[in-house]
């Protein structure tokens, strides 16, 4: 993982706002700094403004307010074709009336490059995505995955320093998708380019990125490396959005030694790590990952708080067991356990007690 701080601010969004209709702000006060060579992913639900940010960076939309800087210079007034930013579109946008080689040669032609140099670069770019022998075909004669690779090659062939990708793998099936994730990551690392990548898919975001910016409602909710994002979500939106998550609501009773005592709405008391709560009396939503829930009393701390639960369903998934519990009124409390030789297999109807380490349970905003 590259340290985003070693060359701060190759791309900078500085207090950027965007409205299409003058009534609603689609992007609200976006501040983001992307380091050179970084792979940054924008992740968020549909309509959260990811594409809009990308379009502003590429120059197809203008920011209503604020500055976008590229390499330290504001680019608000530079037209798209002079920005030198490579772009991969969701539907690939390969020109249907040109062959693959012509598609790749297009950016070089408009840069007035000589024919032999062009051919050489086109071939090299095609070889890089393992499409070397497809130069004379038309986009319509390629499969989705092949088109995707060509689109990638086309965005890279003129050697831009910054490449934007807007859900480039959205149309592919799962297997091809995973393969392409790997390819994109490999190529971007090899070439040392900066990538801003947009996706809906959290797995994609977690596996590929140096840092992930979680978008919602026109704001970045959290900007962090994947492991931090998963293990230390800063608010309940991020906790909900990334990975599976159990939540319970309650009120903070007291905060002592970095541990918050939370009284759930059902009356039970639990321990949690205070994140967005500061004092007794704050309402909170606590969040705990299913794999961090423990029901083997022996493995819990002696005086840890526990909750009573009833097993509703036990699902065998091969590598893991997935157990659905009723905890208080919540019938959707999930516990995941590894399929280890000594693992207990719970049975529906069984009454158990569950608990966790205080640092695994995060008291977030309500």
107 counts as binding another protein under rule CB under 8 A: yes
Partner that binds at residue 48, options ligand ATP, Mg ion, another protein, none, CB closer than 5 to 8 Å by kind: ligand ATP
First to last CA, the chain: 33
Backbone angles phi, psi at 11, to 5 degrees: -120, 130
48 counts as binding ligand ATP under rule CB under 6 A: yes
d(CA 160, CA 358): 47
Partner that binds at residue 318, options ligand ATP, another protein, Mg ion, none, CB closer than 5 to 8 Å by kind: none
Residue 315 gets the label, from left (phi > 0), alpha (psi -120 to 50) or beta, of beta
192 counts as binding ligand ATP under rule CB under 6 A: no
21 vs 190 by CB, closer to ligand ATP: 21
- 100-109 helix and 144-156 helix, angle to the nearest 10 degrees: 20
26 counts as binding another protein under rule CB under 8 A: no
Binding segment toward ligand ATP, per CB under 6 A, in 7-15, 42-50, 274-282, 309-317: 42-50
Q: Binding string, 193-232, against ligand ATP, x = CB under 6 A?
A: -------x--------------------------------
Partner that binds at residue 341, options another protein, Mg ion, ligand ATP, none, CB closer than 5 to 8 Å by kind: none
Query: What's the maximum distance between 2 C-alpha atoms anywhere in the chain?
Result: 76
d(CA 351, CA 349): 6
One of 22, 96, 258, 349 touching another protein (CB under 8 A): 96
165 vs 252 by CB, closer to Mg ion: 165
Q: Provide CB contacts within 8 A for 80, sequence distance 6+.
A: 58, 59, 60
Shortest Cβ distance from residue 200 to another protein (Å)? 18
What part of residues 147-186 is at the interface with another protein (CB under 8 A)? 154-155, 158
Taking the CB of residue 7, how many other CB atoms lie within 10 A of it?
14
235 counts as binding Mg ion under rule CB under 5 A: no
Q: Where are the strands (E) in the chain, listed by range?
A: 11-19, 25-34, 39-43, 65-70, 73-74, 85-88, 162-166, 194-199, 211-216, 219-224, 246-256, 259-264, 269-274, 283-288, 307-316, 320-327, 330-338, 351-354, 361-364
d(CA 286, CA 273): 9
In the beta sheet, which residues pair with residue 352?
309
One of 46, 77, 116, 351 touching ligand ATP (CB under 6 A): 46
Partner that binds at residue 80, options ligand ATP, Mg ion, another protein, none, CB closer than 5 to 8 Å by kind: another protein
Residue 313 C-alpha from the chain's centroid: 31
d(CA 327, CA 264): 11
51 counts as binding Mg ion under rule CB under 5 A: yes
103 counts as binding Mg ion under rule CB under 5 A: no
Shortest Cβ distance from residue 95 to ligand ATP (Å)? 23
48 vs 146 by CB, closer to ligand ATP: 48
Residues that bind another protein (CB under 8 A): 58-60, 79-87, 89-91, 93, 95-97, 106-107, 110-111, 154-155, 158
**Contacting positions for Mg ion (CB under 5 A):** 51
């Amino acid at each position: 993982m590259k340290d985003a701080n070693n060359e701060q601010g190759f791309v900078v969004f500085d207090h950027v706002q965007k409205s299409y209709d003058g009534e609603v702000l689609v992007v609200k006060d976006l501040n983001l700094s992307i380091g050179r060579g970084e792979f940054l992913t924008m992740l968020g639900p549909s309509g959260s403004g990811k594409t809009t940010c990308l379009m502003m960076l590429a120059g197809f939309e203008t920011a209503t307010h604020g500055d976008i800087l590229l390499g330290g210079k504001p680019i608000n007034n530079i037209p798209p074709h002079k920005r030198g930013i490579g772009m991969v579109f969701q539907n690939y946008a390969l020109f249907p009336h040109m062959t693959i080689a012509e598609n790749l040669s297009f950016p070089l032609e408009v840069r007035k490059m000589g024919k032999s140099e062009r051919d050489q670069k086109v071939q090299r770019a095609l070889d890089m995505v393992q499409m070397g022998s497809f130069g004379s075909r038309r986009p319509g004669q390629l499969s989705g995955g092949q088109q995707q690779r060509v689109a990638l090659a086309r965005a890279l062939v003129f050697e831009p320093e910054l490449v934007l990708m807007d859900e480039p793998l959205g149309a592919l099936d799962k297997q091809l998708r995973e393969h392409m994730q790997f390819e994109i990551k490999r190529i971007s690392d090899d070439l040392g380019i900066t990538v801003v990548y947009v996706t809906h898919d959290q797995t994609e975001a977690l596996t590929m990125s140096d840092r992930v910016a979680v978008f919602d409602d026109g704001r970045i909710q959290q900007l962090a490396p994947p492991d931090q994002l998963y293990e230390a979500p800063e608010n309940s939106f991020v906790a909900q959005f990334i990975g599976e998550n159990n939540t319970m609501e309650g009120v903070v009773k007291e905060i002592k030694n970095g541990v918050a005592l939370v009284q759930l709405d059902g009356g039970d008391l639990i321990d949690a790590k205070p994140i967005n709560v500061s004092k007794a009396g704050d309402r909170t939503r606590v969040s705990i990952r299913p794999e961090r829930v423990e029901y083997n009393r022996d493995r819990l701390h002696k005086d840890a708080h526990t909750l009573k639960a009833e097993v509703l369903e036990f699902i065998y998934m091969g590598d893991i067991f997935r157990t659905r519990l009723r905890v208080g009124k919540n019938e959707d409390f999930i516990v995941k356990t590894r399929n280890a030789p000594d693992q207990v297999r719970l049975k529906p109807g069984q009454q158990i007690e569950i608990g966790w380490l205080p640092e695994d349970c995060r008291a977030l905003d309500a």
